[in-house]
Amino acid sequence: MQRYAILSDRRPSRPARKLLVRALTAALLLLPAIPLTIAPVAGVAQNLPTLGDTEREGLSPLMERKLGEQIMRDIRSDRDYVDDGPVSEYLNNFGLNLVSVHPEVRGEAGFDFQFFMVRDPMLNAFALPGGFIGVNSGLVLAAQSESELAGVLSHEIGHVAQRHIARMLGQQKQNSMIQLAAIVLGALAGISKAGGDAAMATMMGGTGVAIQRQLNFSRDAEREADRIGLQIMRDGGYDPSGMVTFFGRLQAASRNYSDVVPPYLMTHPLTTERIADIEARIRDQRYKQRVDNPEFQLVRARTQVLQNDSVQGLRDSAEKFQRQMKDNTKLQTAAAKYGLAYVYYRQNKLEQADAMLKEAQEAAIPLKTGIMFTSLDIDIKVARKQGAAALQLADAMRKQYPISRVAARQYADALIASRRNDEAIAYLRDQAQLYRSDAQIQNLLAKVYAVQGKQALQHLALAEAYALNGSLLAAIEQLGIARKAPDATFYDQSQIDAREREWKEKWKDESKDMKDRG
């Protein structure tokens, strides 16, 4: 079965893969039994092709989103989920800019696309149900330009826009009946005089038909996603040949594998005909060179460190950046120095990190590097107990980038580092009202409450953070701790009781839902 969302890997013991495979496989097996129907698409822009077949009835848009959110809860709780502010902000800004080129890809449910990274050196990217798109760290490092990265993300956006998972479920309904019939016939053949060989042949024959149907569907789905992706790339100002270049590199890399196919090629069947089709579509298009955003190389340098943050991994990254600094290109030198500064920061070599970051900033002049340099500078100053200097930088950054979530969180962190706790609480409470789904804001509130010794409020904030991340049992446990806190007021107790009723009811509904499906 074609699985757009599953991270295939040669290392099945990795918890991220086990969680994702278990969650998605169970969902895909169980959901087709639920009678779901959706209304035909209305008022969708004519720029992109839309679906009109009955296979879309396999999964409604709302159920598709709910399924995606359930899977994301498992992913976020795993250590291989990269919860790094600057990298996440870059990926989301980059991906949402692609989505904005053709807003109709959000569909009738208006999917709120989210882009994220997982820590894995293998080349892979995947689209989950409901608009969640992930990329492996190894794929970001393998991309040589923003156009190549745009090719991969646009392709995944194409899968979401064409609702391939919903269509796959429609196909699966038919295929599962074929397989079921084959198993029944095989069992009957085993009882007959023909014996076990005939039974096995019958079952394998039916399974083969089902697999072929799914394989045919997956190839068509890949071609559809290619066409959508190329259109998004072209209209977004990216070089469409980036898709061909990257897929060509993937195909060449596959020759270096023996019996193991690269994960991206397992989840996205790549054929010579498919690459030829993409080349034919861009052959008559005028070549348009696009200059990459300097942030791209800085994000790649940061990703290099995040991909393997072990002691040896940091040493290997440092050696790589030192070699890269010998390159003549201005941006590559600046990116290498930035990466080395980040390595020193992670190694707690703060003076070296500060000095190397200054060199990186000087090497990057006059390039526009967004929040990357300032964000790391604030982290270093906070770690060096230079709260006033960190706050000055953070205040300037949040004013320059008023919608940046990284800037908002680091400003709060700098307020705490400067021991301006009352200001931090007031600011974070405002942020919590504006961004109710931001779990990190609640974590920062818990941090500053802990500094002030406000135990009840600290555990209430932790409870909110756990609930936002989908860990309802952990959230309810934190409420119990908050209730027993000696400083819990009557108002706190009322809030605890209300939240506890709400979350227990929600947990009860989710447990019943899982039981009914299982």
Instruction: Kindly state the tokens that stand for 454.
Output: 């406000």
In this prediction, residue 481 carries a pLDDT of: 97
pLDDT in tens, the chain (518 residues): 333 333 333 333 344 444 444 344 333 333 333 332 223 333 333 354 444 343 444 567 777 788 788 888 888 888 899 999 999 999 999 999 999 999 988 877 678 899 999 999 988 888 888 889 999 999 999 999 999 999 999 999 988 888 766 666 555 554 444 444 444 444 444 444 445 554 445 444 444 444 444 445 566 778 888 888 888 988 999 988 888 888 877 777 666 554 455 454 455 555 566 777 777 777 776 666 788 899 999 999 999 999 999 999 999 999 999 999 987 788 999 999 999 999 999 999 999 999 999 999 999 999 889 999 999 999 999 999 999 999 999 999 999 999 999 999 999 999 999 999 999 999 999 999 999 989 999 999 999 999 999 999 999 999 999 999 888 999 999 999 999 999 999 999 999 999 999 999 988 887 776 666 55
Which one, of 284, 301, 293, 278, lies nearest residue 237 by Cα? 293
In this prediction, residue 196 carries a pLDDT of: 52
What is the secondary structure of 419-459 as a DSSP string? Answer: T-HHHHHHHHHHHHHH-TT-HHHHHHHHHHHHHHT-HHHHH
In this prediction, residue 30 carries a pLDDT of: 34
In this prediction, residue 197 carries a pLDDT of: 52
Write phi, then psi, for 99 (nearest 5 degrees). Answer: -60, -40
In this prediction, residue 165 carries a pLDDT of: 66
Q: Side chain identity at 138, as an amino acid letter?
A: G
In this prediction, residue 172 carries a pLDDT of: 53
Euclidean distance between CA atoms 276 and 248, whole angstroms? 10
- Residue 18 CA, distance from chain mean position: 16
In this prediction, residue 459 carries a pLDDT of: 97
Euclidean distance between CA atoms 271 and 162, whole angstroms? 21
What is the secondary structure of 483-509 as a DSSP string? Answer: HH-TT--HHHHHHHHHHHHHHHHHHHH
User: Collapsing DSSP states into helix, strand and coil, what is residue 109?
Assistant: coil
- Token pair 């941006």: residue: 331
In this prediction, residue 83 carries a pLDDT of: 92
In this prediction, residue 43 carries a pLDDT of: 33
In this prediction, residue 272 carries a pLDDT of: 66
Instruction: Kindly state the tokens that stand for 334.
Output: 């600046």
Determine contact, residues 88/116, Cβ cutoff 8 Å.
Answer: yes
In this prediction, residue 515 carries a pLDDT of: 67
